[in-house]
Amino acid sequence: MSLRSFTRHFKKKTGTTFTQRLLNHRLAAAQRLLETSSCSIEQVADLAGFGSTVSLRQHFTRAFSISPASYRRQFKSSPISEAA
């Protein structure tokens, strides 16, 4: 199957492009790491599959309107996380 055919079939089946699906997966992984680990932002970027901290920050901020560092601080201080 050609790349073009794969791309077309993937979007038809999932409703999104492969690139967007991969980005969503990486963002979800970054969220989990920020919430549950003490890894540095650099390590989170690497483990989630982003090429750099700049790339993580740009994509994360675009998707969630908050930087990864601010997200971690906000998550750690939320009453829900303290009750869990």
**Average of per-residue pLDDT across 74-79:** 81
| Distance from C-alpha of 20 to C-alpha of 14, rounded to nearest angstrom | 11
| Distance from C-alpha of 36 to C-alpha of 41, rounded to nearest angstrom | 13
The pTM assigned to this predicted structure is 0.84
Q: Please name each of the domains of the chain with its CATH number.
A: 3-83 (1.10.10.60)
The DSSP line for the chain is: --HHHHHHHHHHHHSS-HHHHHHHHHHHHHHHHHHH----HHHHHHHHT-SSHHHHHHHHHHHHSS-HHHHHHHHHHSHHHHH-
| pLDDT tens per residue across span 3-61 | 999 999 999 999 999 999 999 999 999 999 999 999 999 999 999 999 999 999 999 99
